[in-house]
Amino acid sequence: MKIILLKDVKGLGEAGELVNAKDGYARNFLLPRNLAVEATPANMKKWEERKKIEEAKEKEEYEKALKLKEKIENLTVELKGKDRRGR
């Protein structure tokens, strides 16, 4: 049975992943505990939309990090003072 994980499940996958699980495991354990939802066409559409939004956010954060990296690399730091020997 194809399911979409809502929370991390040890040995199966992380939240937000589309995975295959045995029917009994999904129906008797994952679905009743709200750890996953069945991969119906409606749920798949929602999952794909969420995935696109998350990917866009990740891309935006990555671009911000690159800009910050460039700024930091172009900085020069100059320290003035005396060492403990008085020089």
The mean pLDDT value for 48-64 works out to 96
Residues 14, 8 contacting (CB under 8 angstroms): yes
In the numeric block, which tokens belong to residue 55? 């990917």
DSSP letter, residue 7: S
- For domain 1-39, give the CATH number: 3.40.5.10
Amino acid type, 84: R
pLDDT per residue as tens digits for the range 6-48:
999 999 999 999 999 999 999 999 999 999 999 999 999 999 9
Q: What is the pLDDT of residue 45?
A: 95
Residue 3: band (very low, low, confident or very high) from pLDDT cuts 50, 70, 90 = very high
Asked whether the beta carbons of 14 and 6 are under 8 A apart, the reply is: no
- Residue carrying structure tokens 């937000």: 16
Question: What's the pLDDT score for residue 79?
Answer: 84
What stretches of 7-40 show up as alpha helix (H) in DSSP?
23-25
Asked whether the predicted pLDDT for residue 2 surpasses 80, the reply is yes
Instruction: Give the model's pLDDT for residue 80.
Output: 83
Q: What is residue 85's predicted lDDT score, i.e. its pLDDT?
A: 79
Whether the predicted pLDDT of 77 surpasses 90? no
User: Cβ(9)–Cβ(20) under 8 Å?
Assistant: no
